[in-house]
Structure 1
Amino acid sequence: MRFFLRITLLLFLAFTSFLANAQVDHLANVTSVRGHPRLLLAAGQEKVISRKIANDPLIKKLHEAILGESSKIVQIAPLERIKTGRRLLSVSREALRRLFFLAYAYRMSGDEKYLKRAEQEMLAISAFSDWNPSHFLDVGEMTMALAIGYDWLYDKLPESSRSTIRAAIRQKGIDASLMSEHNSWLKSSNNWNQVCNAGMVYGSIATYEDDPALAKRIINRALETVTLPMGDYAPEGAYPEGYSYWGYGTTFNVLMISALENLFGTSFGLKEKPGFLQTPYYLENMTGPTRLPFNYSDAGRTSGLQAAMFWFAQRLKDPSLLWVERDNLRNGSMEGHLKDRVLPALLLWMGDANLSNINPPKETAWTGQGKSPVALLRTSWTDPNAIFVGIKGGSPSVSHAHMDAGSFVMEADGVRWAMDFGMQDYESLESKKVDLWTMKQNGQRWDVLRYNNRYHNTLTVNDSLQRVSGKAPLTHVSKNPDFMNATLDLSELYQGQLATANRGIAIVNGESVLVRDEVEAPTQPAVVRWTMVTPATVNLLAPNRAELTKDGKKLIVEVAEPATVTLKTWPTDPVHEYDAPNPGTTRLGFELTIPAQTKAVFTVRLLPEKAVLKKREPVKSLAQW
């Protein structure tokens, strides 16, 4: 009897496991696919791209730059399998750049030199021992690279080369993704899922006719599992991993959707996922008048051209989404643009956009909830001296997050006055044995200077860390131009340190910025530090007043409440030997000891030169905002 029960239990577990892993066959009605090329750009569509190039000087300049860069690639040696630390990713990314550029250049010009060089690159990469499946992003990008080259150049490649490249895509890419030790990303809700699934879909589409059943299996798997990270765009499109990883995860997500639509005529419901078609508004609003992004979490300090925005603008029939992208095209360095490995996709996704005639966005405030809620406020899209403010909530537990809940950036008069250090290069930390990816409260990640709350524009209590388990939601938003504001409840981030903590930030009468904190000490006193990191020179004028100067401009930082605080500065020098230097930056702020079970209010004004002499109204409590 016991044996029978055991067998029954095992059969039940096996059956439930089967059900859990069973895939919906989204491709049940697909009996065949068109010939090559079938990824992104069908045969003959080059003429459509050529007409866009002829009609838009900016796009023509970009097209010619891609061809020029491709000619330079022709002159350099093929890539080698050289890892940086545990990653082959830099090689994979350069492979994608080279092969996308060369294949595009050949299809648009017909020049054989691009074809021959792409073939040489693909054969060299195919000969690698593997594509480093232990860090599967490397495989995802390498598979996409060879898939584009193989598919776009298929008819011109000799069968011997096709066979070699096809085998590499299958064995080093797709087959590796079927091994459980290499595919934990299938259960991830971050950018890994988006990038790796996109790469496997490209490999499967490129080699579809060789094993249709396997290709369908991989595509079905992607359609089922990519919904995990896509779920994080809900409800309004705020991407939890921040600006730089939006550019990574979302771009590869769009590359996958674009390939599916181009071949099958449908995204199988992916683009309709809640928040996904709203996410370009998040990205656009993340850039200030200085062209710097709100670089919270693991993000770089500079912005860049985002090809995916052209896809969104086309899908939503909203050219205003390209307001920032046009500025990047006009004023960004062409050399910088040519580092973008998916740059040719921009020309494929142009649609009917006319870059010489784009209206600015209508809204000057954008807010989104989600895992990392943000509020992005500005006084104008057309005035280079406009005020811009970004503030975030969320949690240190979110993928790639810092202890930066409550942190803000602020610009006025063409200067970023309140800044974020952003990320530190991973290899610079990993090479020194820093355990960067343990997100627990006592994880070494939080010892890194740029990652903890002490070096962000937020509160630090008793010189302690924010709580990893805490979350800070947006609690109120107003788009009133006279008092545009947003508030956050930070209480969970300071559990055990403060009884309550709430922060609000506002643009007042379109002229100045107000930061207000309302906190309450628990059953013991609390020492609260208010911090703002700035790249400006700081001159302390009075106990509650400091003058910031940068690029010939001035900003006054004035503590209106409480009257007893004294502003001071702290250095931003490395604390550990592994911390990156932060030259030209200063922490400005103050500390206050709050007696046990006592409430306190901090009100700080950031006053551009034109607002310094203006009359300042009394500040209402956050509950009245």
Structure 2
Amino acid sequence: NLVGGPHSKTSVGFNSYALWNNPNSTLGNVIEEGSFQYTFKGDRAAGEQAKKALLKLCSFKKWNADWMLERKFWTYYPVGYTIKPVAYGYDMLYDLLSESERAFVRTAIMEKGLKMFHRDMVEMNRMPSNQTNHIAVLAGGMGLAATAIYGDDPSNPNLEPYISGILTKTKTFIDRTYYEDGSYGEPKSGYMNMASRDMGELLPALERNFGVDYSTTTSFKDFYKYLIQASYSNGLMQDYGDGGGAKGSRVDIGGQIHSWWLVQRTKNPLLYSYVNPFWEAGKGGYLSYVWYRDDITPVSRETLPPSKFFSAQGMVMRSGWDDASMVLSTRVGPNANHYHYDQGSFQIMKNGETLLTDPAYGPLGYYANLEYLSYSVQAIAHNVMLVDHDPESQAPAHYDNGIKALTEWPRVQHLFNGKDADGIESELSSVYKGKLEKYSRTLLYTKTGPVFLFDEVKSKSPKGHVYDWLFHAPPGENNQTAISYDKGRMIIDRPNAKLTMDVVSPEIVASKIYDKSAGIGKSFYESFLTLSSKPNLNQVNFLSVILPESKPSSGAAPVTSKMEAPGWIGAKMVHSNGSDIGFFRTGTENGVAAGFTTDAKRFTASYDKSGALQKIYYEGSSISGNGLSLTVDVGTRGTVALVSTGIDAEIKSWKGCTVKMLVSGKPSSVLVG
């Protein structure tokens, strides 16, 4: 098929593309390794072998599969991988090539690479969202090849319009996909790393040869921010969409080409703390050798606040930076490549274990998984709410790709990330196919105790709906079901951690646990619990209290009770560290709730084992009770903690404000930061 002839055929069998592409990738490996050996070590024999492989690869009739070409896809992402070693070979074996051989390689690059890319990605503007790792792989390989032959073709020394097309597609991809805060327009593990690796090779070449700096002038340099926030020290992280999986995924920040380049280019001390151990272990090959530096003082991520909001993703909440800490991530924001219909979903890890999780694309991947479109990408496969038992309750949100008329996606309404509490409220109704007038999901995390989950739902139809709440878990020990449910209590039991969730409201009339198989005759891949409300509800509030714990646990099982007051719904959980209450406003009454008088929309309070108040979290302008009194002249969100040295308040406001706090005596000092 590569060389044509009577035995050429198009195969569509399982893994046929990888088999077809094997000669391309094998020759590419010989070219790349031999080129570096020749350039760095002066190994002439390796250079000659690489030259033979280079000329052989360039002699092939095509670098793209007939299956693609017959469907008018002139290029496909593996061609980016094929052309990259050709670029290395042309550049580093230049003095071993005759002028006719150089022209032969240039022709192959142009006809089988650059012209095909230009037709697909520039003239036809395929992949118009510009949010896909395929663009990065293609632009990376094509850009290196164009740079290698730039100026050598007497008929077109400036390689126009091809070089401008590559630069434009590259810049647009970066601008549409990378965010300054560390958000990224695809899953954050494999897909982002796949794209960033090729950018990590292309961007140095563009800057070195053309003075075009996309490394420090774009948000590419911020790729790592979500990864360090959401992972344990061993790289375990939970991802969304086609990333991750029931047991999470792992990210190796220090072992990535793009990390090495950005350390060399920007002296980023946070990235250096990951890269330096990798380098000092002698890993990374030629590019690590080229970019190595040891003149940076590393800075640990532990200098950062443990919780952070990401504009195109949601929030990462952590109890701390150690590997026993709880890590909770949320999903809310624009749609993107390889994403699922999972708005409002959230996942939880504790003590190095995934507890509340996401099955990603399933055990067989999206090509062989027969349930990929009917289950894996749909709302039912995520920790969300369904309407009318519809597994496809959510529609896709819009992409954030610069089209001003298409900007409809769920939005974060309020958030707080502090040292003593975290909170996020998201409005999700826009993806529920016109059925809901309102759907607000709130997660409040007390840091030292439980997470309060509160959903406020209102139907557009007076007839109302039935609602299902879903919770997914990985398998437990020995591939047994890890999830159980009885009398309002869900338990997820893993080898090193356990999650307890108590449902406070509404009345659950039906529940069922499903085990999803990993294939015929195989053990299951994940389980999920579905909790159903009464039918025909025009409005409903869902309140639950979630406590992740390390194993072995340090005390008795938690005890949860419902708490009510005029205009409020709340819950109290007593656990091994003390107790926590959470209240959510449901009416206009300003009734006293658990001894607190407040105009807040919601609040929590934490107590030690003796019942003494430790801290409160509130969203409003005033709260008083239990010996505390706080008034602010504008609406704020904040915490007030009683510490050994006095009172520690962390208050966030959209503008400057005046805070009045009543204390039982004149303070010795007041520090404002």
Report TM bin, short chain. 0.7 to 0.9
With 115-124 and 254-263 compared, the bigger mean Cα shift is at: 115-124
What SS does the corresponding residue of 1:526 show, helix, strand or coil? coil
Alignment of 1:289-304 (within 5 A): 289=233, 291-300=235-244, 301-304=249-252
Distance 1:183 1:95, change over 3 A: farther
Aligned-partner Cα distance in 2 for 1:310–1:614: 43
| Equivalent AA in structure 1 for residue 82 of structure 2 | M
Alignment of 1:439-478 (within 5 A): 446-447=373-374, 449-464=375-390, 465=392, 466-469=394-397, 471-478=409-416
What SS does the corresponding residue of 2:498 show, helix, strand or coil? strand
Distance 1:346 1:560, change over 3 A: farther
Q: Deviations over 1:357-394 (max 9, x none)?
A: 55234221222213xx231222333x221111111113
- Whether 2:205 is the aligned partner of 1:259: answer yes
Q: Deviations over 1:493-534 (max 9, x none)?
A: 213333321223343224443433222233233222222221
Asked whether the equivalents of residues 215 and 221 of structure 2 are also in contact (C-alpha less than 8 Å), the reply is no
What SS does the corresponding residue of 2:578 show, helix, strand or coil? coil
Asked whether the equivalents of residues 30 and 49 of structure 2 are also in contact (C-alpha less than 8 Å), the reply is no
Choose which of 397, 408, 419 in structure 1 pairs with 2:357.
419
Q: Deviations over 1:525-547 (max 9, x none)?
A: 32222222212343636312233
Distance 1:354 1:108, change over 3 A: farther
Q: Deviations over 1:37-75 (max 9, x none)?
A: xxxxxxxxxxxxxxxxxxxxxxxxxxxxxxxxxxxxxxx
Distance 1:188 1:425, change over 3 A: farther
How far does residue 249 in structure 1 lie from its aligned partner after superposition? Answer: 2.3
| Equivalent AA in structure 2 for residue 546 of structure 1 | M
Asked whether the equivalents of residues 498 and 526 of structure 1 are also in contact (C-alpha less than 8 Å), the reply is no
How far does residue 615 in structure 1 lie from its aligned partner after superposition? Answer: 3.3
How far does residue 281 in structure 1 lie from its aligned partner after superposition? Answer: 1.1
| Equivalent AA in structure 2 for residue 248 of structure 1 | M
Aligned-partner Cα distance in 2 for 1:122–1:580: 46
Counterpart for residue 656 of structure 2: none
Distance 1:250 1:126, change over 3 A: same
Q: Deviations over 1:404-456 (max 9, x none)?
A: 22222211111111222223589x65579x7xxxxxxxxx9631x32111111
Asked whether the equivalents of residues 414 and 425 of structure 2 are also in contact (C-alpha less than 8 Å), the reply is yes
Alignment of 1:121-270 (within 5 A): 121-132=53-64, 134=73, 135-157=75-97, 161-180=101-120, 184-185=125-126, 187-191=128-132, 192-211=134-153, 212-232=156-176, 233-234=178-179, 236-243=181-188, 244-267=190-213
What SS does the corresponding residue of 1:236 show, helix, strand or coil? coil
Counterpart for residue 35 of structure 2: 103
How far does residue 566 in structure 1 lie from its aligned partner after superposition? Answer: 6.5
How far does residue 255 in structure 1 lie from its aligned partner after superposition? Answer: 2.4
- Whether 2:542 is the aligned partner of 1:598: answer no
| Equivalent AA in structure 2 for residue 619 of structure 1 | G
With 254-263 and 119-128 compared, the bigger mean Cα shift is at: 119-128
- Whether 2:499 is the aligned partner of 1:555: answer yes
Counterpart for residue 278 of structure 1: 222
What SS does the corresponding residue of 1:499 show, helix, strand or coil? strand
How far does residue 151 in structure 1 lie from its aligned partner after superposition? Answer: 0.9
- Whether 2:579 is the aligned partner of 1:616: answer yes
How far does residue 204 in structure 1 lie from its aligned partner after superposition? Answer: 1.1
User: Which structure is higher in strand share?
Assistant: 2
Choose which of 393, 418, 432 in structure 2 pairs with 1:494.
432
Asked whether the equivalents of residues 465 and 538 of structure 2 are also in contact (C-alpha less than 8 Å), the reply is no
What SS does the corresponding residue of 2:161 show, helix, strand or coil? helix
Asked whether the equivalents of residues 363 and 525 of structure 2 are also in contact (C-alpha less than 8 Å), the reply is no
Question: What TM-score do you get using the length of structure 1 for normalisation?
Answer: 0.72
Max radius of gyration: which structure?
A: 2
Asked whether the equivalents of residues 473 and 528 of structure 2 are also in contact (C-alpha less than 8 Å), the reply is yes
What are the ranges of 5 or more consecutive residues in structure 2 without an aligned counterpart?
1-9, 398-407, 559-574, 586-600, 603-618, 620-673
What SS does the corresponding residue of 2:524 show, helix, strand or coil? coil
Distance 1:309 1:477, change over 3 A: farther
Counterpart for residue 530 of structure 1: 469
Aligned-partner Cα distance in 2 for 1:320–1:485: 26
What SS does the corresponding residue of 1:403 show, helix, strand or coil? coil
Aligned-partner Cα distance in 1 for 2:546–2:515: 22
Counterpart for residue 613 of structure 2: none
How far does residue 98 in structure 1 lie from its aligned partner after superposition? Answer: 5.1
Choose which of 337, 349, 371 in structure 2 pairs with 1:399.
337
- Whether 2:312 is the aligned partner of 1:386: answer no
Aligned length: 515
How far does residue 308 in structure 1 lie from its aligned partner after superposition? Answer: 1.0
| Equivalent AA in structure 1 for residue 159 of structure 2 | A
| Equivalent AA in structure 1 for residue 89 of structure 2 | G
Aligned-partner Cα distance in 2 for 1:226–1:129: 27
Counterpart for residue 114 of structure 1: 46
Distance 1:174 1:564, change over 3 A: closer
Distance 1:110 1:270, change over 3 A: closer
Q: Deviations over 1:313-336 (max 9, x none)?
A: 3444322224455688899xx9xx
> Percent identity, aligned pairs only?
20
Question: What TM-score do you get using the length of structure 2 for normalisation?
Answer: 0.68
Choose which of 259, 264, 277 in structure 2 pairs with 1:309.
259
How far does residue 402 in structure 1 lie from its aligned partner after superposition? Answer: 0.9
Choose which of 420, 423, 439 in structure 2 pairs with 1:482.
420
How far does residue 354 in structure 1 lie from its aligned partner after superposition? Answer: 6.2
Distance 1:240 1:155, change over 3 A: same
What SS does the corresponding residue of 1:179 show, helix, strand or coil? helix
User: Which structure is higher in helix share?
Assistant: 1
What SS does the corresponding residue of 1:518 show, helix, strand or coil? strand
| Equivalent AA in structure 1 for residue 140 of structure 2 | A
Aligned-partner Cα distance in 2 for 1:458–1:171: 49
Distance 1:502 1:607, change over 3 A: same
How far does residue 136 in structure 1 lie from its aligned partner after superposition? Answer: 2.2
Aligned-partner Cα distance in 1 for 2:526–2:220: 36
Aligned-partner Cα distance in 2 for 1:141–1:293: 27
Asked whether the equivalents of residues 177 and 183 of structure 1 are also in contact (C-alpha less than 8 Å), the reply is no
| Equivalent AA in structure 2 for residue 416 of structure 1 | T
Counterpart for residue 7 of structure 1: none
What SS does the corresponding residue of 2:227 show, helix, strand or coil? helix
Asked whether the equivalents of residues 327 and 348 of structure 2 are also in contact (C-alpha less than 8 Å), the reply is yes
What SS does the corresponding residue of 1:618 show, helix, strand or coil? strand
| Equivalent AA in structure 2 for residue 408 of structure 1 | F
Distance 1:228 1:583, change over 3 A: same
Aligned-partner Cα distance in 1 for 2:113–2:220: 28
Aligned-partner Cα distance in 2 for 1:605–1:403: 24
Counterpart for residue 376 of structure 1: 316
Counterpart for residue 442 of structure 2: 504
Distance 1:392 1:539, change over 3 A: closer
Q: Deviations over 1:78-131 (max 9, x none)?
A: xxx998456766766666555444433443333344323322332332122211
Q: Deviations over 1:222-267 (max 9, x none)?
A: 2223332222224534111121221122332332221111223332
With 176-185 and 385-394 compared, the bigger mean Cα shift is at: 176-185
What SS does the corresponding residue of 1:571 show, helix, strand or coil? strand
| Equivalent AA in structure 2 for residue 590 of structure 1 | L
What are the ranges of 5 or more consecutive residues in structure 1 without an aligned counterpart?
1-80, 435-443
